[in-house]
Structure 1
Amino acid sequence: MTTQRSTGRFMPSSWDETVVVDIDGTGTDKNGVYYPDRGVTRALVEYRYTGDIDGTSTAAYVFAYRDGKAGHARINGYERFEGSIGGHEGTCVFVHTGVVEDGLVSGHVEVAEGLGTGGLEDLSGSADLVLENPTDDGYELTLAYDL
């Protein structure tokens, strides 16, 4: 089987982040959202994808902030994607792991095998991400995958 690659661009269409644990009771407000200096938050995020990866998704993330003022956090989450990847229609789930360091997000996305439907039922694959300086059409994602 030959590994394929599809590239799309994605942009959040909504973001709802709330505090789960605020360890020290101190934090920072940014754009109407409170971020603890040290603590845990959860976020529900909706995305829109365009390009060879085309569709919509909903992600649930957990952020563990160790220095909120400097923007340092560990990220874990799951994202349910619905649309097409390389012309294959269906749904799948992405597993996210990553870090935020000084406002720069870097991470790894892995397809959760066994959770796909339709043309994405047998999808497996992964992508590495670095998110900084988005353009008007969002961030780039190149997924290396097998079907």
Structure 2
Amino acid sequence: MNAFTTKNWEEKIVSGTEGSGPRVAYAHALFAYSGVLEGESTCDLLLYYAGEGYESGETTSPSFERFEGKVEGREGTFVIRHEYTFDAKGIASTFTVVPGSGTGELAGLTGSGTAGGTIGEDKVGYTFEYAF
């Protein structure tokens, strides 16, 4: 199964205040991947909350994630651009590999995928279609 787990999540409000309507927050996260992707990543997210918590409906989060590890045995790094959405039920993302970001044996990597899971679950599943 292709999945990742959150190793660390640090979030702070950068605009607006909790309980006062729309706000923007920044999160810095560390993830551990298994499956087609084997390794760890650092992800920086810009979070938009329409209202208080998740109760106000769907929110959005553009983000960049730097992966370091292996793709089917090939080692290196690359960056992906996410567009996350999340609500009280869960998270979902579509993502693409940033062109030209691959290094080492992952140089020339292209690809895209999806991620999704339930809020509070340890593992988030993902799909990843790629080429070199």
Tell me the TM-score normalised to structure 1 length.
Answer: 0.80
Question: In 2 relative to 1, CA 97–111 (structure 1 residues): closer, same or farther, beyond 3 Å?
Answer: same
- Work out which of the residue numbers 46, 56, 68 in structure 2 matches 1:62: 46
Runs of 4+ in structure 1 off by over 4 angstroms are: 133-136
CA distance in 2, matches of 1:72, 1:86: 34
Partners of 1:18 and 1:41 within 8 A in 2: yes
Structure 2 residue runs without a partner (length 5+): none
Q: CA deviation at 1:139?
A: 1.6
CA distance in 2, matches of 1:140, 1:56: 15
Q: CA deviation at 1:132?
A: 1.3
CA distance in 2, matches of 1:78, 1:117: 16
CA RMSD of aligned residues (A): 1.9
Report how many residues are paired.
130
- Work out which of the residue numbers 74, 77, 87 in structure 2 matches 1:88: 74
Q: CA deviation at 1:129?
A: 2.1
- Work out which of the residue numbers 85, 101, 109 in structure 1 matches 2:95: 109
Q: Secondary structure at the match of 1:119?
A: helix
Matched ranges for 1:1-147 at <5 A = 8-22=2-16, 25-27=17-19, 37-69=21-53, 70=55, 72-132=58-118, 138-147=123-132
Partners of 2:88 and 2:119 within 8 A in 1: no
CA distance in 1, matches of 2:44, 2:119: 23
Q: Secondary structure at the match of 2:106?
A: coil
Larger Rg: 1
Q: CA deviation at 1:135?
A: 5.6
Cα deviations across residues 67-95 of structure 1 (Å, max 9, x unaligned)? 23316311100000000011111000010
Partners of 1:49 and 1:55 within 8 A in 2: yes
Higher strand proportion, which one?
1
How many percent of aligned residue pairs carry the same amino acid?
Answer: 28
Structure 1 residue runs without a partner (length 5+): 1-6, 28-35
CA distance in 2, matches of 1:133, 1:20: 23
Q: CA deviation at 1:121?
A: 1.0
CA distance in 2, matches of 1:16, 1:61: 10
Of structures 1 and 2, the one with the larger relative CO (CA 8 A, separation 6+) is 1
